[in-house]
């Protein structure tokens, strides 16, 4: 890739990080953080966005970032105080800044209707400072373009004469240059200045060391020398002056055309011009001054010649002044400025060691796939060995056991490589919440917890949609308007909490609000009206709450722009189930609701119980299994002569014949002849799966059925077992809920399927 | 002898830009992400020229300049600060602290190399 394009890609990548930093800083500020470093961090982030944008000439982005930065700078310097309103404006500004970055990335345009008002608000905050200069970011032209040129000193050593329109004519200039000690203290170097000057044309340099005191009066870091340069060049005064750009304030300098009074050309400094003039003119004519005169050729050899000049000047001085260093600061320099020893330079890596490396995700994915195959192969091998009749204590079997442990360890480590904190998803949410809140006219505070909870990247990517939905739902349906809240004796601002945690080998995402809770009467009424439940159905509160996940259910009286568009919670639930996840809701009237979503930590492997049903091999995720038991006939009862339940201790649990549910056979087997696996679904519902036998427990590599075949109800995915057979992985949740709905309302069987 | 330039900037974009221009011009480049790391790297590896940003976390560019100038071994290392056109006060402050020169952002490679050459022996 073109290196510039690659840097541009880096820039946009960095922008994402900077925008996140800025947003998080602003959120902290909004929440009352008063640490100046927080303001600083936001300032730096915006500043860096602007800096990079400047380098690429992204004008719109620069313009917006500039005003934003100005406001941050005013906050930073204490010129402006951070009020709640300012914080809110800045947060919205960070959203618009993100829009500008996105527009720059895609070459599109930002929505002016969104950007302009915020820009105006920022400008209002910045006052005159936001309006006066926009040159900072490079809008003043000239230096916007970063055009990489292959440059080297040698190539570039030709006279810097720029292509000026008029025919350049060489002129002779007289330059008087007397460094002050400060110039050397800042590591500037006369030799380099003279070298630069020599690049402009033909230079005759005369050293005046008449001010050098005797050795006993010599101060090590004082400056005693001055130079007069007769320069024949086509360059104008500005170009000459530019050579002295870095040292101008730390030296006495006059630049004049030969024969002219330098007074006109001299900077309006406060040094004694007359004295200088006298000196300048006196210097070359002083007979005892050892004048080293060199005429460096303008091209490549310039450096060498000036160096020689300096060397000679330095040699010359000691002759006169009895071995005094001619240029004190330089004398102090060599040891320090010497290049590092070759060995050290060679041993030193190009960059300081860092604790992290960046690896292409493709490579990690390949590694994970390979490890998946390794796990399968290892399982196959174990099985073969087992079948071969080797003793468990044989060396081969023992070796295999070690191999199994190692394989497991490798797998865990490899999965950990791909694990990422959910932060990357969470950090997109504050903006969403602000926008949704604005749209529905509610005031919302988002609290996030557990952002560092790690989960496999395959899962991370798919968290975003469900979380977005749950948050929208919480704001749109869960929270009340500020007025309603105040009537209910709550603060006008509602709180929505987004939390992530690990529980039982799964990642749990909770979205809770302190709103009005689910209106169960209404939910039930709607469900009955829509024919989702029977009018006389007896449902627990929890079951009523979870009705909102039924297909076609929507409680919003007007389908708003936010939660509407036909995408209901049923879609959310289905997409979560497709990931082997579960979602449920609990609610307390007047106090709020809580969505709980749980997903496997990875979509790559699964700990499962291998089962047989109807001569098929199936795998039930271990995370769903509570216990397994052999049903006794006297514990099995039939409700209405049809739906079997089993009594486990003091509760009755529906029996689900897996063979029948998956369509392997028509009639259920006698539960007492098989094994019952007590499973628990995310909704808290329990059921007992009836299968013929349990084969064992093992870790399996998940192969998506959808990717390879199609979605099958009751089946979450497939896997390849040790003996090479394909086994289906059960979707326990859908099995349980299907059987429940079947029991509750037979005609819904089709819809459920 | 290839000269070594230490670039200190918290922006990856800026570091990469500096790196591109400097490496193309034949310099060896080492990078640091903030002032503290910059001073550590300078101490450990040395450099012929230091190019530093001003706004950085942990230790800003002024701190870098002061740190370098107060270091008996590296005090004579030339330091170029990256500034922007509007940062006249910052540039002055950097100069007072002992900056050797400055580079105005956004820079083009030519200007950058010019500035480096003006301070690199």
Q: Answer whether A654 touches B (CB < 8 Å).
A: no
For A426, counting Cβ atoms within 10 Å of its Cβ (0-12 exposed, 13-18 middle, 19+ buried), the class is buried
- What tens digit of pLDDT does each residue of B19-75 get? 888 888 888 899 999 999 999 888 888 899 999 998 888 898 899 999 998 888 888
Q: Which residues of B touch A47 (CB under 8 A)?
A: 55
For A412, counting Cβ atoms within 10 Å of its Cβ (0-12 exposed, 13-18 middle, 19+ buried), the class is exposed
Q: Which residues of A touch B31 (CB under 8 A)?
A: 351-352
pLDDT at A131: 52
Answer whether B55 sits within 8 Å of A47, measured CB to CB: yes
Q: Answer whether A55 touches B (CB < 8 Å).
A: yes
Closest C-alpha to A331, from A229, A219, A463: A219
What pairs with residue A645 in β-bridges?
Answer: A637, A654
Contact call for residues A97 and A65 (beta carbons, < 8 A) = yes
Closest C-alpha to A518, from A452, A592, A432, A597: A592
Interface test with B, best of A76, A187, A249, A303 (most B CBs within 10 A): A187
Which of 3.40.50.300, 3.30.465.10, 3.40.640.10, 3.40.50.2300 is the CATH number of B4-119? 3.40.50.2300
CA distance B16 to A348: 20
CA distance A475 to A479: 5
In A, residues 184-203, which contact B (CB 8 Å cutoff)? Answer: 185-189, 191-193, 196
Answer whether A192 sits within 8 Å of B4, measured CB to CB: no
pLDDT at A691: 92
A250 in helix, strand or coil? helix
Reported ipTM:
0.84
Q: What percent of chain B has pLDDT above 90?
A: 16
CA distance B6 to B41: 8
pLDDT at A751: 34
Q: How many residues does chain B have?
A: 121
Give the pairing type, strands A636-639 and A643-648. Answer: antiparallel
Answer whether A188 sits within 8 Å of B78, measured CB to CB: yes
Domain ranges of chain B: 4-119
Which of A13, A147, A185 is opposite residue B98, by nearest beta carbon? A185
pLDDT at A278: 55
pLDDT at A555: 52
Q: Answer whether A48 touches B (CB < 8 Å).
A: yes
Question: How many CB atoms are closer than 10 A to CB A111?
Answer: 11
- Burial A316-352, CB ≥16 within 10 A → b, else e: bbeeebeebbbbbbbebbeeebeeeeeeeeeebeeeb
Q: Which residues contact A105 (CB under 8 A, 6 or more apart)?
A: A12, A15
Which of A147, A149, A339 is opposite residue B48, by nearest beta carbon? A339
Helices and strands in chain B, H and E counts: 5, 5
pLDDT at A9: 85
pLDDT at B61: 87
With a cut of 70, list the residues of chain A below it in pLDDT.
1, 128-168, 261-355, 504-505, 552, 554-568, 578, 603, 641-642, 682-684, 706-708, 740-753
Contact call for residues A691 and A613 (beta carbons, < 8 A) = yes
Range B76-100 average pLDDT: 84
Q: Which residues of A touch B14 (CB under 8 A)?
A: 48, 51-52, 55
Q: Answer whether A489 touches B (CB < 8 Å).
A: no
pLDDT at A277: 54
Q: Which two tokens stand for residue B41?
A: 């790297």
Closest C-alpha to B104, from A719, A255, A189, A146: A146
């Amino acid at each position: 890739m073109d290196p510039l394009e690659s840097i541009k890609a880096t820039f946009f990548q960095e922008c994402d990080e900077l925008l996140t930093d800025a947003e998080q800083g602003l959120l902290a500020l909004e929440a009352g953080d008063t640490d100046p470093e927080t303001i600083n961090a936001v300032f730096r982030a915006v500043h860096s966005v602007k800096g990079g944008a400047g380098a690429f000439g992204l004008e719109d982005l620069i313009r917006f970032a500039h005003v934003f930065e100005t406001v941050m700078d005013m906050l930073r310097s204490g010129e402006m105080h951070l009020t709640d309103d300012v914080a809110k404006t800045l947060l919205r500004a960070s959203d618009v800044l993100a829009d500008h970055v996105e527009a720059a990335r895609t070459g599109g345009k930002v929505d002016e209707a969104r950007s302009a008002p915020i820009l105006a608000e920022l400008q209002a905050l910045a006052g005159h400072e936001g309006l006066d200069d926009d040159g900072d970011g490079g809008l003043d032209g000239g230096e916007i373009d970063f055009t990489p040129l292959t440059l080297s000193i040698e190539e570039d050593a030709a006279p810097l004469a720029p292509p000026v329109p008029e025919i350049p004519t060489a002129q002779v200039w007289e330059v008087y240059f007397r460094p002050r000690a400060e110039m050397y203290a800042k590591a500037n170097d006369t030799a380099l200045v003279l070298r630069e000057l020599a690049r402009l044309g033909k230079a005759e340099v005369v050293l005046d060391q008449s001010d050098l005191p005797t050795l006993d009066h010599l101060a090590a870091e004082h400056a005693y020398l001055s130079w007069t340069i007769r320069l024949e060049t086509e360059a104008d005064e500005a170009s000459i002056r530019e050579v002295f750009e870095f040292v101008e304030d730390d030296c006495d300098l006059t630049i004049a055309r030969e024969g002219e009074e330098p007074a006109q050309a001299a900077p309006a400094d406060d040094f004694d011009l007359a004295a200088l003039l006298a000196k300048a003119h006196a210097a070359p004519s002083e007979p005892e001054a050892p004048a080293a005169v060199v005429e460096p050729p303008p091209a490549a050899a310039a450096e060498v010649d000036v160096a020689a000049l300096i060397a000679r000047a330095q040699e010359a001085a000691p002759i006169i002044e009895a071995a005094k260093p001619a240029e004190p600061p330089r004398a102090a320099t060599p040891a320090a400025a010497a290049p590092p020893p070759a060995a050290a330079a060679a041993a030193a890596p190009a960059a300081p060691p860092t604790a992290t490396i960046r690896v292409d995700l493709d490579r990690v994915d390949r590694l994970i796939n390979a490890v998946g195959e390794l796990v399968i192969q290892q399982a196959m091998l174990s099985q073969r060995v087992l079948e071969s009749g080797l003793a468990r204590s044989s060396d081969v079997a023992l070796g295999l056991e070690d191999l199994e442990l190692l394989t497991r360890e490798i797998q865990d480590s490899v999965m950990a490589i791909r694990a990422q904190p959910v932060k990357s998803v969470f950090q997109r949410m504050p903006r969403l919440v602000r926008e949704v809140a604005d749209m529905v006219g509610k005031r919302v505070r988002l609290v996030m917890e557990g952002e560092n909870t790690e989960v496999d990247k395959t899962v991370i990517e798919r968290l975003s949609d469900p979380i977005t939905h749950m948050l929208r739902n919480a704001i749109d349906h869960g929270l009340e308007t500020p007025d309603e809240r105040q009537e209910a004796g709550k603060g006008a601002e509602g709180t929505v909490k987004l939390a992530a945690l690990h529980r039982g080998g799964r990642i749990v995402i909770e979205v809770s609000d302190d709103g009005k809770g689910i209106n169960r009467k209404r939910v039930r009424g709607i469900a009955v009206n829509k024919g989702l439940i029977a009018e006389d159905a007896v449902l627990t509160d929890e079951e009523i709450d979870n009705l909102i996940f039924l297909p076609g259910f929507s409680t919003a009286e007007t389908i708003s722009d936010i939660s509407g568009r036909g995408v209901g919670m049923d879609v959310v639930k289905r997409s979560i189930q497709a990931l082997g996840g579960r979602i449920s809701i609990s609610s307390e009237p007047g106090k709020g609701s809580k969505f709980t979503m749980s997903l496997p930590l990875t979509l790559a492997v699964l700990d499962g119980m291998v089962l047989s049903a109807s001569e098929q091999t199936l795998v039930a995720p271990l995370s769903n299994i509570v216990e397994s038991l052999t049903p006794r006939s006297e514990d099995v009862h039939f409700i209405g002569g049809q739906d079997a339940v089993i009594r486990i201790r003091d509760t009755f649990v529906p029996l689900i014949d897996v063979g029948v549910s998956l369509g392997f056979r028509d009639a259920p087997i006698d539960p007492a002849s098989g094994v019952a696996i007590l499973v628990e679904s995310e909704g808290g519902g329990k059921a007992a799966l009836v299968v013929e036998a349990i084969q064992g427990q093992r870790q399996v590599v998940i192969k998506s059925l959808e990717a390879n075949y199609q979605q099958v109800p009751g089946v979450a995915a497939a896997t390849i077992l040790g003996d090479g057979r394909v086994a289906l992985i059960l979707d326990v949740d859908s099995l349980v809920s299907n059987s429940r709905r079947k029991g509750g309302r037979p005609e819904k069987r089709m819809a459920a399927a | 002898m290839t000269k070594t330039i230490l670039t200190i900037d918290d922006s990856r974009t800026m570091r990469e830009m500096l790196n591109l221009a400097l490496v193309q011009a034949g310099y060896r480049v080492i990078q640091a992400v903030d002032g503290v790391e910059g001073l550590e790297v300078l101490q450990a590896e040395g450099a012929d020229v230091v190019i530093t940003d001003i706004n950085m976390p942990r230790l800003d560019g002024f701190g870098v300049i002061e740190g370098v100038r107060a270091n008996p071994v590296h005090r004579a290392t030339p330091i170029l600060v990256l500034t922007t056109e509007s940062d006249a006060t910052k540039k002055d402050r950097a100069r007072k602290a002992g900056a050797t020169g400055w580079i105005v952002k956004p820079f083009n490679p030519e200007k950058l190399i010019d500035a480096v050459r003006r301070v690199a022996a």
